[in-house]
Structure 1
Amino acid sequence: MKKFLFSMTALLLITLLAACNEDEDTNEEEEARVVPVETAEAAEGDLVIEKSVYGRTAPSSTAPIMLQNPGEIDTLEVENGDQVEEDDLIATISTPAGKQNIRASRDGEVVNLNGAEGDLVSNEEPFALIADMDTVKLDFSVTANVRELFEEETVMETRINDQEYEAEITSIGKMPNDTGLYAIEATVENEDGDILPGMVVHMFVPEKRIEKAIIVPTEAIVQENDESFVYIVKDNKAVKLAITIQETQSDKTAIEGDVQSGDQVVVTGQLTLTDGIEVDVQKGE
């Protein structure tokens, strides 16, 4: 019996010693581990929350080309999309009163031209339109709440066909249309002629501004168990700091906490960090 107790005691001691050695090895490995990270600098500033509004492009103005008499298209000198100057020949029409030369009433782009040589045309509807596309009109329909975000003569960032433009607000409707929405109009310069009628417009309207906040990249924020925190780097070690999120706008977030302007916030590798672990700051692309 004594031998059995002695054997059990010795086995227990050996197990405890092995566990202690394993813990020590784990701690040493943790202390020796250096995690590569990338950082970005926290900055103090204003964060503007933007609302997206969508609309369509249209000519800033159009002038109809009307026929004096109905007839048959004898010759057609232009196509839709052609640029013309005032008095340029558009077409020749054979009418009961003789041939009629149709000329451009102004400079611009030919649009809504329906017909080909030999077709019969009426004088009740415009033969074509001459559109001013040097300056393009942007048409939006918005709710009453969104309408309050606009002011005339303000300039808004706008995206058309993946290109960035600055659009000036020219008109804000005071009466709703049949759907209960309000008309907003803006204009944008089209010097290169890349904007065509009917294109989709994406306008970014400032909705809310957070002033004098600490701004960090949104990707730096880690969330666990309903808590938010970031890691900053001090003396080549990761320091975990709890934060409160004020507002997020895409890739930037305004926060409150112990993060200071100029702190290096970890943006890559933060999910593998623990408080106090040694890090090696790498340069991003």
Structure 2
Amino acid sequence: MKRILFGMIAIVLIMLLAACTEEDDTNENEEEEEEIPTQVETVEATEGDLVIDRLVYGRTSPSSTAPVGLQNPGEVDTLEVENGDQVEEDDLIATIATPAGNQDITASAAGEITNLEASEGDRVSTEEPLAVVADLDSMILTFSVTADVQKLFSTEDTLDVVIDDNEYEAEITEIGKMPDDTGLYPVEATVENEDGDILPGMIGEMSVPENRVEESIIVPTEAITRVDDEAFVYVIDGDQIANQIAVTVQETQSDETAIEGEVQAGDEIVVDGQLTLNDGSAVNVVEGE
């Protein structure tokens, strides 16, 4: 009888233990099924125009140069200037001792002395200018472009140009109608050089508007994800849920992209963390650095 009683007690204990184990497994599964929100960064979509720029590169040169020539060869008796000096028209540059007597050499224009290589006591000839007077107050940027790019320019256009990490405004002054020896078309622009920071021979990077998308939804280019040639963005709703929205890309710049789709200005668009999301994923929006 005791054996039967002990057996029944053992069966009851086994059943209780199995029930507790099953309950624990159920709780663990429920915990595993709880989704941990993905941390993401967002920005607001905007509405506006997206301008696509073409970058072209040119080289700077003085807006005008005036060579300082000699009438007769001779020896430099006195030298009144050095490279970098500013002179006015008719300022004395040098005195040259010649068999016919001393000659005073004056500036034929106002500007900055450049290309002066002679010193007092040197022999100089009429074959090369003694120096050059360059107008560096404004500089010429010369570009060589293809026929397609040449059509993007118009005279008197004012465009942005970057020279030595500084931004300037350049006015288009001349557009070549005939190609040069390389088959490219010359384009010239003028840049004011009030501070004298632009030197001859520097490289200028000009942004030329090539295309414009008007009144479009603009999002950061990094927000676009692509799957099987389809483009998507993730829009966060008020419940902190990421909704995958299919969009059509109209135009793309390096930083911004114009899109069409069910996205409105002011929508929160995911720009970081979107590669780990699915449609309907829970998210936690954090501020970027």
Q: Hey, what's the Cα distance between the residues in 2 that align with 1:74 and 1:269?
A: 75
C-alpha deviation, 1:81, in angstroms: 2.4
Count residues with an aligned counterpart. Answer: 271
| Secondary structure of the corresponding residue to residue 197 of structure 2 | coil
Partner of 1:130: 133
> What residue identity is the alignment partner of 1:116?
S
Alignment of 1:284 with 2:265, yes or no, is no
1:81-100 equivalences in 2 (<5 Å)? 81-100=84-103
> What residue identity is the alignment partner of 1:99?
N
Cα deviation digits, residues 133-161 of structure 1 (max 9, x gap): 11111111111111111101111111111
Partner of 1:253: 257
| Secondary structure of the corresponding residue to residue 59 of structure 1 | strand
Once the two structures are overlaid, the 10-residue window that deviates more, 52-61 or 121-130, is: 121-130
Alignment of 1:275 with 2:279, yes or no, is yes
Q: Hey, what's the Cα distance between the residues in 2 that align with 1:22 and 1:88?
A: 94
Alignment of 1:57 with 2:49, yes or no, is no
Q: Hey, what's the Cα distance between the residues in 2 that align with 1:85 and 1:257?
A: 64
Q: For the pair shown, which has the larger CA radius of gyration, 1 or 2?
A: 2
Distance verdict in 2 for CA 1:166–1:278, change over 3 Å: same
- Of 21, 26, 32 in structure 2, the residue corresponding to residue 26 of structure 1 is 32
Alignment of 1:46 with 2:45, yes or no, is no
Partner of 1:74: 77
Distance verdict in 2 for CA 1:71–1:23, change over 3 Å: farther
Once the two structures are overlaid, the 10-residue window that deviates more, 259-268 or 120-129, is: 120-129
Partner of 2:146: 143
Partner of 2:201: 198
Q: Hey, what's the Cα distance between the residues in 2 that align with 1:26 and 1:167?
A: 63
Q: Hey, what's the Cα distance between the residues in 2 that align with 1:279 and 1:151?
A: 50
Partner of 1:158: 161
Once the two structures are overlaid, the 10-residue window that deviates more, 101-110 or 177-186, is: 101-110
Alignment of 1:105 with 2:111, yes or no, is no
> What residue identity is the alignment partner of 2:88?
E
Partner of 1:10: none
Q: Hey, what's the Cα distance between the residues in 2 that align with 1:204 and 1:98?
A: 56
| Secondary structure of the corresponding residue to residue 50 of structure 1 | strand
Q: Hey, what's the Cα distance between the residues in 2 that align with 1:217 and 1:19?
A: 45
C-alpha deviation, 1:85, in angstroms: 2.1
TM normalised by structure 1 equals 0.87
Computed over aligned residues only, the root mean square deviation of the Cα atoms, in angstroms, reads 2.4
Once the two structures are overlaid, the 10-residue window that deviates more, 71-80 or 141-150, is: 71-80
Q: Hey, what's the Cα distance between the residues in 2 that align with 1:40 and 1:92?
A: 69
Q: Hey, what's the Cα distance between the residues in 1 that align with 2:75 and 2:279?
A: 84
Once the two structures are overlaid, the 10-residue window that deviates more, 220-229 or 191-200, is: 220-229
Q: List alignment gaps of at least 5 residues for structure 1.
A: 1-15
Alignment of 1:230 with 2:233, yes or no, is yes
Partner of 1:265: 269
Cα deviation digits, residues 66-90 of structure 1 (max 9, x gap): 1111111223232222222223332
C-alpha deviation, 1:104, in angstroms: 1.9
Cα deviation digits, residues 241-270 of structure 1 (max 9, x gap): 122212111100111111111111111222
Alignment of 1:180 with 2:183, yes or no, is yes
Q: Hey, what's the Cα distance between the residues in 2 that align with 1:77 and 1:284?
A: 61
